[in-house]
Amino acid sequence: MAVKQSVTFSDSTVSFATKAASFSDDNDGIEMREKGSGDRKQQKPSNEKRKIWLWIGLAIAVVAIAGTVIGVLFARNMIGGSSSTATVGANAQSDINSSTSSSSSSADAPAPTTNAGTQVSTEDDDSQQAPQKCSDPKDLPKEFQGTAMDQSTWLTMDGFNCSFTSETVGGLPLLGLNSTWSDDSRANQNVPALNKPWGAYGPSRPIRGVNIGGWLSLEPFITPSLFDYPKSLNIIDEWTLTKHLGASEAAKVLEKHYATFITEEDFKNIAAAGLDHVRIPFSYWAVQTYDDDPYVPQISWRYLLRALEWCRKYGLRVKLDLHALPGSQNGWNHSGHSINVFNWILGTDSQPGPKQNLNRKRSLDIHDKLSKFFAQPRYKNIIAFYGLANEPALKVPTADLVSWTTDAFNLVTKNGISAPIVFSESMKGLPAWGGQLQGHGDKLVLDVHEYLIFDEYLIGLTHKEKINYACGLLADDVAGSSFGPTMVGEWSQADTDCTLHLNGVFNGARWNGTFFGNSPACPTKDDKCDCSRDMADPSTYTKEYKLFLQTWAEAQMSAFERSWGYFYWTWKTESAPLWSYEAAWKGGFMPKLAYQKSWKCGDAVPNFGSLPEFF
């Protein structure tokens, strides 16, 4: 992007004039305005002495002006020396709105499509570059007015560049991004800075990550307030919610959610918790919608890009995860549409006719655009993994899934994605993937999600049995994956399935026997099986229960670190603390630092005292 020679301070501008300057207060900012010759008064000195004093006075004034400006710039972090020392996590000094960052380069990345005569920097540049002046909404080209490209309609400009550009890469907008960036931050002292190689993923340096679930792809159990409607309205997923609200109201409701549910503070805390990777689920309607889709299109795109910049600031590497694909890849609410007959690479579009395989093709088209965009140099160091499809349904035949995954892998790598590509084991179990999709080395990684609570046998294990299971069969399973490179993309500390809406809106729980009429599945298998504590405030948890929860979490961490590592599900919830890493971290039942566990597999299982098995 072309950078004008101005620095935005709140609502005012500093312009470096080449002639004379005057100062005026403007919205608590400082403005130096160039004065024209008509503002200068012509004076004749009465004698030579007067001329000398005049020049001395002018020199003093210039020094005072320069000192004031430099002081303001330093105070606002607008100027300063660059450093090659990596900053760590929450102490990182680079800022998404700062002009002091430097960019990375790659000769293989696609160049921006320029529609507005501006250019994105793709060269290493340590120069102090000033942000662009905010664009005037009145100057916005007519075709963008009232669209997602109209910044005057955005709920917030926090963390966004306020200069308009219509540039795109892969057909996706750059609007809101700064033209420079810095990759010298690292999440903590145990991992390299973003601009340094991670090395080999595995037990010696595993992923220790967390998901940002329920944010850009809604899940009712994470944000139940968005689904607080009478049962008769059947508001059970993002499809029915947006259809009920209508386009205009849905846009308002969801942008408020995007802007407030996850903020910069969350990424700062993720790094402070000793985590080093973030998995960010998002939906295809961040890119575009189709046919009668009621989803809010494109607004979530800019929040995804802003999240990447905040991850960059705190040294967090990212796994992009396309969580919802056209036609729904599994028919579950987190795919956008909770339906019995999903229509992804199977379903009605597989029948002969003009729409045969339509959603298969659409899913590849979404990846075509995404991969071209994220192959840009600015994302080379921060995007550590590129995910193809979250949890395709078990009933998708393996051969069809292999075929689509092969096409998607070839497409995104051809478009310049150099990060490892990740595909889901699709609830088929790790052994099903032995010998499949071979020949890609570490460039193709299998993602397995490990939950005990959705299995009626495993959910009934006692506290001690759960821990032993994690350190035994579960650890051996992920470590011995016959596919090859394997990560655990989701797991949880939850030991029951009692959380409101977890099994679907208005559905019950296996734990207490209210899920479609099953009998109670907790260890006692009777009417003592209780869900009351699951939604309780963590401050009410007993010491014994907190000890179990932390040991249970650390057992799974130990197990999954034998693979390429893990991503906890999820960072934040409104009212489900057993699914919130943040709540557990703050509540004292998660290690203070993910890389410093107080218990590991092989240690003696603690005594949980009188902790009952039925809650």
Measured distance CA(193)–CA(462) in Å, rounded? 42
Residue 6 contacts residue 14 (beta carbons within 8 Å): yes
Closest C-alpha among 475, 447, 551 to residue 211: 447
Q: Any idea what DSSP says for residue 319?
A: E
Could you confirm whether 490 is annotated as catalytic? yes
CA distances from 202 to 334, 430, 470 (A): 29, 17, 18
Q: Any idea what DSSP says for residue 202?
A: B
Q: How many CA atoms lie within 13 A of 62 on its CB side?
A: 10
Catalytic residue, candidates 219, 391, 554, 561: 391
Nearest-Å Rg of the Cα atoms of the chain is 28
Catalytic residue, candidates 255, 425, 490, 554: 490
Closest C-alpha among 391, 448, 451 to residue 578: 451
Could you confirm whether 264 is annotated as catalytic? no
Per-residue HEC secondary structure of 105-171 comes to CCCCCCCCECCCCCCCCCCCCCCCCCCCCCCCHHHCCHHHCCCCCCHHHCCCCCCCCCCCCCCEECC
Closest C-alpha among 402, 407, 327, 414 to residue 371: 414
Q: What is the sign, positive or negative, of the torsion defined by CA atoms of 243, 244, 249, 251?
A: negative
With residue 433 as reference, give the H or E element that holds it: none
With residue 278 as reference, give the H or E element that holds it: strand 277-283
Measured distance CA(164)–CA(251) in Å, rounded? 21
Measured distance CA(462)–CA(8) in Å, rounded? 60
Query: Residues with catalytic annotation?
Result: 391, 490
